[in-house]
Chain A
Amino acid sequence: MLGRLALFAFSAVALSACDGGAVRPIRAVGSSTVFPFTTAVAEAFVNQDKRRAAPVIESIGSGAGFRAFCEGVGSQYPDIANASRRMKRTEYDQCQKNSVGEILEVQIGLDGVVLAESNNGPKLKLSRKDLYLALAANPMGKPNTAKTWHDVNPSLPAIPIYVMGPPSTSGTRDAFIELMMEPGCLAAWPEAKAKAKAIKDGHDPAKFQDACLRIRDDGPYVDKGENDNLIVQGLSQNPNAIGIFGYSYLEENIDRLHGTEIEGVGPTNNDIVTGKYPGGRPLYIYVKKRHIKAVRGMQDFLDLYATMWKPKGELNKRGLIAAPTDVQDQSAKIIAEGIALDPAQLH
């Protein structure tokens, strides 16, 4: 019996005997929004050279990511924090308390949605509340009967509501719901604030979702499939239609399309980057400067990231909105020269 067990133990050790050089892999933790981009870079990183240790990427959320990132410096702590928001000052201080040292803040691009109409359209100026009332399946808990923008907000013209957008499988639609519909719901329906709290308590999440987050499917919202180019084409044919897509498509077709102002802010590069435009948010990776030299391949990994976030690059195909050129140049410079984050910028 014992002999058999020993044989089993021996074979177990033999199975693991093909142990590689045991190079410490690059470790990234954090936001689920940034996760698909970092994993794409990780895959390309290994595809470039099979001898490299495969980076380990965990999707645990931005906040939890920062907490793990700031626990300390050394091989047992992550090298990179993925984040869909900026690091907070308190988080930076936590990092410093654990002597993490200098940190690079690299903006990899933007996550966000814009609304746009054809250049010869009525140039609507909308708020998130208008969008919510026009597009929710059950605004404020009652079925949506609005047919024109005037029904939603008396100051808007009586143009039929016709919005073309991505299907429910799309990340762009998730971003639209998160950045436009949910704040719009909270603004239009004070009761929803209590409901939003109830989600956390687990009381009535279904009702909140149904009233605030579900998009109507009775005609005014048209699902145009994953191909955003079809939406752009549709807009040229119907001047009263509004399209929802990633910012990069507006940028590409700026000669034909007019970006719809939301709460008085137009979707411009500058307004998305400064955070004034409600439909956009920057995405970051935070890197421990001390780990760049200590972990094999870190510099190559970051350089590869920088080549992949270009417009029409690999990450763009996976849904990343490329940052404006000057931001990209700045990010590339931070990586190339190892410029540390100035904590005075954080709040």
Chain B
Amino acid sequence: MSKRVASPAPAPERTPTDWKSAAMQKRIRRRYARERRFKLFGMMAVILSAAFLAFLIATMMANGARGFTRSEVALHFDFPKLGIEIDRSHLKTPGADLALAGAGLQDKVETLATSPAGYSLASNSAWVTVRDRIKAHPAILDGKATIWVPASTELEMGSRGEGPANVQADARKLSQAGQLRTGFNWGFFSASNSNDPVAVGIWGALKGSLLTMLVTFLIAFPVGVLSAIYLEEYAPKNRWTDLIEVSINNLAAVPSIIFGLLGLAVFLGSWQIGGHTFGPLFPRSAAIVGGLTLALMIMPVIVIASRNAIKGVPPSIRDAALGIGASRIQVVFHHVLPLAMPGILTGTIIGMARALGETAPLLLIGMRAFIVTPPSGFTDPATVLPVQIFLWSDEVSRGFVEKTSAAILVLLVFLLAMNGLAIYLRNKFETRW
């Protein structure tokens, strides 16, 4: 070193770069152009995806907005004249529904709701509204009453200026006479599936999704996080743990339909063990089966995300805790896990969002079913939002187009709420060091 300093070799003649020369200017220009081009491509990619999203939301809003409104038509009843033969004492008993159905209420409401032109003004399920009113106020059976019932699809279309001219004229006449009104469709959030687009609601599917997601979370989160903790903090590094790691990465990429088949075989299949047949563990179409199947599907995602988050906690924190005498479990639960929590939660929410939008495995375990009442528990037959959207998009009736879009909006809001919760939790747990 010192020798070289003592007798420096003559520096090679090097002309300073002439930044002003044409060749250099060209190179600089090309360099800047490349920079701008790259920025532009990136921007275009963002704009493209934003445009798709905007298009989706705009179409859904345009189609779906009407799905949230409902027209109602006023029917005038003169109950003594209608002649509904029913014992009043039955109306307060649980058998009231059957008694009123048996008294021919449905036919009578339908006859009353038939317009002079021969089509029905009220929806098929209008008589159910009338029945519920009679059950709530039996006194109306003694006199006249005006009851607002859901309008038929024809009349609803007519009130929007669609469909045959005579129906449109009728709709105009009715709304001028104050017998037709359009309002927010609260029933959409309290009813379940129906054959009648006027009477359908999203609540059944929404509740099914909630129950399914709950099961998925309660299974996948603890199991996934515990696996990640074990693999990162306790497991020795050897061939077996390598094999497990590769398997988990593989499982995360397995198509969801295969988890559906797995769920079908494990939770709904029956086995012969030692001459005894063990029946299915759970009933078909139940939220618990859907939740367990989806939990199997997203568990690898949670394990991978959690391991990365745990890996990201600096070793100095572990060493410090161990150095002042904390046990391994104290290190994990007091220091590592809280610090890793934001990452774990992000991974979990990504997995849950995937599970929420999943249909394929659920079709196999029977959640693609028509059910007119919402599930009341984990073992009740249920359906979920994406499957409901799929079922409605298959319906021929025009009224279902709007309901499909409305259901998609509900799904998007659900997703947004879930992601919002994730961001909130992440910010809450976030620690800087």
Contacts and interface: CB of A to CB of B under 8 A. Distances in A.
Interface of A: 1, 5, 8-9, 12, 15-16, 18-20, 22, 24-25, 27, 35-36, 39-40, 42-43, 46-51, 53-60, 74-76, 169-171, 314, 318
Contacts of A39: 195, 370
B378 A16 contact: yes
Contacts of B218: 8-9, 12
A56 to B, nearest CB: 4
Interface stretch (B279-287, B299-307, B318-326): B279-287
Interface in B161-194: 192, 194
Contact of A76 (B194, B283, B376): B283
Contacts of A74: 279
A100 to B, nearest CB: 15
A60 B366 CA distance: 9
27 contacts: A1-B333, A12-B214, A15-B211, A16-B376, A19-B376, A19-B380, A20-B380, A35-B370, A39-B370, A42-B370, A43-B194, A47-B125, A47-B128, A49-B95, A49-B97, A51-B94, A51-B97, A54-B192, A54-B373, A56-B366, A56-B369, A58-B285, A58-B369, A58-B370, A59-B370, A170-B396, A318-B195
A75 B378 CA distance: 17
Given A12-B214, A25-B381, 11 more contacts: A15-B214, A19-B376, A35-B370, A43-B194, A47-B125, A51-B94, A58-B366, A58-B370, A76-B280, A76-B283, A314-B124
Interface string B182-217: 000000000010111000000000000011001000
A19 B279 CA distance: 23
Given A15-B211, A16-B378, A22-B380, A76 B128 contact: no
A56 B98 contact: no
A8 B217 CA distance: 10
B222 interface: yes
Residue picked from A1, A12, A58, A60, most chain B C-beta under 10 Å = A58
Contacts of B195: 36, 39-40, 43, 318
Contacts of A5: 222
Interface of B is mostly: loop
B345 to A, nearest CB: 12
A169 B396 contact: yes
Interface string B281-296: 0011100000000000
Interface in B360-375: 366, 368-373
B214 A56 contact: no
Contacts of B138: none
Which 3 residue pairs are nearest across A and B when measured between Cβ atoms?
A: A19-B377, A54-B373, A49-B97
Nearest to A319: B396
A297 to B, nearest CB: 11
Contact of B101 (A48, A54, A171, A318): A48
Nearest to B270: A76
A124 B283 CA distance: 56
Interface string B222-243: 1000000000000000000000
A176 to B, nearest CB: 15
Interface residues of B, number: 43
Contact of A27 (B97, B270, B284, B372): B284
Contacts of B366: 56, 58
B419 interface: no
A50 B370 contact: no
Given A50-B97, A57-B369, A22 B125 contact: no
Interface string B82-122: 00000000000011011001000000000000000000000
Contacts of B368: 58-60
Contact of A48 (B97, B214, B398): B97
A16 B286 CA distance: 13
A36 B284 CA distance: 21
A175 B366 CA distance: 27
Nearest to B222: A5
B376 A18 contact: yes
B379 interface: yes
Contacts of A19: 376-377, 380
B396 A20 contact: no
B337 interface: yes
Contacts of A57: 369-371
A85 to B, nearest CB: 21
A54 B208 CA distance: 15
Contacts of B371: 25, 54-57
A62 to B, nearest CB: 16
B337 A1 contact: yes
B372 A49 contact: no
B279 A42 contact: no
Given A1-B333, A76-B279, A171 B97 contact: no
B191 to A, nearest CB: 11
A184 B420 CA distance: 57
Residue picked from B98, B195, B222, B283, most chain A C-beta under 10 Å = B195
A24 B94 CA distance: 20
A56 B211 contact: no
Nearest to A29: B366
Contacts of A76: 268, 270, 279-280, 283-284
B172 to A, nearest CB: 21
Given A39-B370, A51-B94, A56 B376 contact: no
A49 B338 CA distance: 52
B424 to A, nearest CB: 14
Contacts of A16: 211, 376-378
A314 to B, nearest CB: 8
A48 to B, nearest CB: 4
Contact of A56 (B333, B381, B396): B381
Residue picked from B214, B270, B398, most chain A C-beta under 10 Å = B214
A49 B337 contact: no
A314 B373 CA distance: 21
Nearest to A53: B373
A172 to B, nearest CB: 11
A54 B94 CA distance: 17
Nearest to A72: B270
A181 B128 CA distance: 42
A53 B222 CA distance: 34
Contacts of B377: 16, 18-20, 22
A314 B125 CA distance: 12
A46 B279 contact: no
Residue picked from B95, B196, B380, most chain A C-beta under 10 Å = B380
A60 B363 CA distance: 9
A254 B22 CA distance: 93
B430 to A, nearest CB: 15
Contacts of A48: 97-98, 101
Interface string B269-283: 010000000011001
Contacts of B128: 47
A51 B99 CA distance: 13
